[in-house]
């Protein structure tokens, strides 16, 4: 082994199992040592039980080679709003403390069937629906937030405590932690993957997503979850040369700090230097209502989603969620329908714009992870894409004024997830090499 | 007591508890006797455990009067695709035989908090996603289907085995059993009620619904689940006089048999005779794609929904669901988006049409419940309304050539559920009185 097993990506791990240089038990032991060492600082796990992980690992080692699944023995961390048999699902809510519904989410059924080693549950903001952070910290600087709501999932992948992880996004909950932790993060097309067994905030917004330290690992997960384009890409790009990109600052560009401003410039420069075409574009003005419309849909759907908890234990519910149910936001049903229908009408229009490019480059975050872990930061650059249902991949490579990672998002039209992964592969290569940021972990 | 307790509606039941003439235990005992007598014929329960029901009933009797909820002691039957603590949830699938996730669906949390007596689980077609019937029979004629997929829920309410019940609708699964069993059935506005803990077929179509034998009971449930219009109706209609209705045969009128044809005519005649205005309208031609679009969305979403079960136990999955995952339907992602976006664009257009009337009257079913229990019948008159997200109430009162019940649907614009309930109240009164059909149960 060239390295400690815990440092392997999922794809490298599979290779090591395949050539017989590593057992799942050895791998699990290495991961657990890393977790043991880092959990007191990063606090990214809501639940991890070493005995249970090792038992799974030993069982996987006994599976004959020809019966092994595409994720055989690969450790994966699961955001604690996704049901897992044999482990609690607590939603970071006192109402569900130690609650353990004995049911697997659809995504977990697929992962287990693929042979994945389910490591444990990662911290989330309450119901993946608030911005109140804690206890997880950013592994690159524990005085800073790892982002949210998929706080723990982003952090453990960056920190080599798991090669891959599941998150969910309703605003910016997959992409923001991706950027803040300097890892790859993918939010696929809405409803392209089963969301069975995943706590609901907003039916029309919630999307399962995932984290990794390589695009190959994202592709592995995409395949296990059945993400497929109408015309799956048949050959890989050699590099970015000849690819067509759009650079879109969006209607909220005034929220971009110096780190993101520099990353957008540098990202475009690197691509151009490698022979790609990068054109600046702007949203047509009718897209300007997207941020408000997303907020209206989110809060109105929160009214419905949290009514059960509100009725049973209002005093144990975050104030912001109580306000959703109380309709403190002031949105009427009429406002909701205007937003819901308005967003719906924009989706095919965005797809037509995106179809002109191999990918559109947009900010992932306002800037590097802010100081403090009380707030998980802003979803201002993400929520519009969640509303439009399009695939988004955060690609790391850049850094902010304090040396913390910053990523940029690659975006395309709905159901072009596989094509976007191919573009992310070659873009990631040059941005990671030439974008200045490198993990010290 | 004027009657056997099991015959009471929910509202009558509450009245009897309130005036001290009935205890929950007495009520539960009466219901259980009825179930015991009728289950061998109607076969509507997938799970009902008398000891558990009586324990719940005794506990409810101990609740002090001032702490009682709005559904205190009211029995309710739950379709077996909705999670319930302490009871199995089996989806009529061998894959989930005896499976018992210890979690309550959001709707069940609200019902328990309101003091409802959760009786048990009612039969469904497999995952509420096929039309293959059995074992439940129609209580009015056991050689006929009770409809589906909420087969058991429709049947038990008609058969006085429960006053109210939960169902779900993705095509016509709430409204069809309502019509076939001669009871009230309501499919509220999509996403207006929590769908947490309810098996997913299609995120954009699945809707929780409910059954009762009176509109007052539907109103009780609507209140518990938090259904609310922007302008809740402040006073009740005295009768149908002066109300404005549209009569819409829809683009699939050629599917209507003599029973439904006669019901549509008679329904309009009765309303006119009582001083209502009934205008015949037609769908604008752009609505004609709705049935195909619904089918495309349904089958494409089925591809995603059943992938986990397909991977794990394909051989135990209904052929139609295997075909969804295999994409035997031939729909591309492009077709899906055309359908998804096309339906989205029609929703506000339908709302504008509906806003001109107090309600629009449309068929609930092609005709009375067909012979045989192998197939649960056709959703052809329902799927368009599920796709448009609008509230629908099946009102009973009419009958077919064999004396089986036929209902008609009242429909309006999204988020006018409370207003529609007020209209259903007065329409139901005259249709039930003058529509010729009366239950012999």
ipTM: 0.97
pLDDT for res B1: 47
Tens of pLDDT along A17-34?
A: 999 999 999 999 999 999
The answer to whether residue A332 sits within a structural domain is no
Give the span between the Cα atoms of A14 and A16, in whole angstroms.
5
The string of pLDDT tens digits covering residues A233-267 is: 988 889 999 999 999 999 999 999 999 999 999 99
Q: Is A236 on the interface with B (CB under 8 A)?
A: no
Which tokens in the block code for residue A328?
């403190």
Q: How far apart are CA B3 and CA A341, in angstroms?
A: 50
pLDDT at B2 over 70: no
CB pair distance less than 8 Å for A332 and B102: no
Please tell me if residue A242 touches chain B, with a CB cutoff of 8 Å: no
| Confidence category of residue B134, pLDDT binned at 50, 70, 90 | confident
Task: State the residue for tokens 């209002």.
Answer: A314
If contacts are CB pairs under 8 Å, which of residues 45-74 in chain B contact chain A? none
Tokens describing residue A263 = 């990353």
Q: Tell if the CB–CB gap between A203 and B193 is shorter than 8 Å.
A: no
| pLDDT tens by residue, A68-77 | 999 999 999 9
Does residue B261 form part of some domain? yes
B355 to chain A, any CB pair closer than 8 A? The answer is no
B326 in a structural domain? no
- Kindly state whether residue B222 falls inside one of the protein's structural domains: yes
Q: What residues form DSSP beta bridges with A302?
A: none
CATH number at residue A175: 3.90.1300.10
For residue A2, what pLDDT band results from cuts at 50, 70 and 90?
A: low
Buried b (16+ CB within 10 A) or exposed e, B110-127: bbbbbbbbbbbbbbbbbb
| Token couple for A316 | 């144990």
Residue A84 lies in a domain: yes
Q: Does B203 contact A203 at a Cβ distance shorter than 8 Å?
A: yes
State the average pLDDT over residues A363-389: 97
B315 assigned to some structural domain:
no
Distance CA B10, CA A87 (A): 39
Q: What is the pLDDT of residues A195-240, one digit of tens each?
A: 999 999 999 999 999 999 999 999 999 999 999 999 999 888 899 9
Q: What is the mean pLDDT of chain B?
A: 97
Pairing of strands A405-411, A359-363: antiparallel
Query: Structural domain tally of chain A?
Result: 1
Greatest alpha-carbon pair distance for chain A in Å reads: 61
Note whether A354 contacts B: Cβ–Cβ < 8 A: no
Least Cα separation, residue A400 to chain B (angstroms): 39
CA distance B192 to chain A (A): 6
CB pair distance less than 8 Å for B414 and A304: no
In a domain, B325, yes or no: no
Q: CB of B308 within 8 Å of any CB in chain A?
A: yes
Q: Which two tokens stand for residue B236?
A: 């009740």
Q: Is residue B332 part of a domain?
A: no
> Taking Cα atoms as reference points, which of B153, B100, B99 lies closest to residue B123?
B153
Give the domain range for residue B217. 5-228+239-287+337-434
pLDDT given for residue B342 in this prediction:
98
Active-site residues of A: which are they? 79, 149, 173
- Please name which of A37, A29, A86 lies closest in space to residue A58, comparing C-alpha atoms: A29
Tokens of B290: 């709705």
Share of chain A above pLDDT 70, in %: 100
């Amino acid at each position: 082994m060239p390295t400690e097993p815990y440092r392997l990506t999922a794809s490298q791990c599979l290779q090591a199992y395949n050539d017989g240089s590593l057992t799942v038990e050895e791998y699990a032991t290495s991961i657990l040592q890393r977790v043991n060492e880092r959990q007191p600082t990063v606090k990214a796990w809501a639940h991890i039980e070493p005995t249970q992980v090792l038992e799974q690992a030993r069982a996987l080692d006994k599976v004959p080679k020809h019966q092994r699944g595409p994720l055989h023995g690969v450790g994966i961390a699961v955001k604690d709003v996704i049901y897992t048999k044999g482990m609690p699902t607590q939603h970071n809510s006192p109402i569900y403390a130690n609650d353990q519904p004995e049911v697997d989410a659809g995504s977990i059924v697929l992962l287990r069937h693929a042979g994945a080693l389910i490591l444990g549950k990662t911290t989330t903001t309450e119901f993946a629906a608030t911005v109140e952070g804690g206890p997880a910290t950013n592994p690159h600087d524990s005085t800073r937030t790892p982002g949210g709501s998929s706080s723990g999932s982003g952090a453990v992948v960056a920190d080599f405590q798991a090669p891959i992880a599941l998150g969910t996004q309703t605003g910016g909950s997959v992409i923001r932690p991706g950027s803040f932790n300097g890892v790859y993060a993918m939010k696929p097309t809405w409803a392209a993957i089963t969301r069975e067994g995943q706590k609901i905030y907003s039916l029309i917004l919630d999307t399962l997503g995932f984290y990794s330290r390589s695009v190959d690992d994202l592709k592995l997960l995409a395949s296990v979850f059945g993400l497929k384009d109408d015309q799956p890409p048949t050959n890989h790009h050699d590099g970015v040369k000849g690819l067509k990109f759009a650079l879109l600052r969006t209607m909220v560009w005034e929220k971009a700090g110096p780190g993101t401003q520099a990353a957008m410039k540098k990202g475009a420069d690197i691509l151009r230097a490698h022979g790609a075409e990068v054109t600046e574009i702007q949203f047509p003005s009718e897209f300007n209502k997207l941020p408000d419309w997303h907020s209206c849909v989110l809060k109105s759907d929160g009214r419905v989603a949290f009514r059960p908890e509100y009725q049973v234990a209002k005093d144990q519910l975050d104030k912001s969620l109580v306000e959703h149910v109380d309709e403190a936001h002031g949105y009427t049903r009429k406002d909701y329908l205007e937003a819901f229908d308005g967003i719906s009408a924009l989706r095919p229009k965005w797809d037509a714009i995106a179809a002109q490019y191999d990918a559109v480059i947009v900010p992932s975050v306002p800037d590097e992870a802010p100081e403090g872990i009380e707030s998980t930061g802003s979803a201002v650059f993400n929520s519009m894409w969640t509303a439009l249902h399009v695939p988004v991949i955060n690609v790391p490579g850049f850094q902010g004024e304090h040396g913390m990672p910053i990523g940029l998002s690659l975006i395309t039209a709905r159901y072009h997830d596989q094509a976007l992964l191919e573009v992310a592969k070659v873009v990631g290569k040059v941005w990671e090499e030439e974008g200045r940021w490198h993990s010290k972990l």
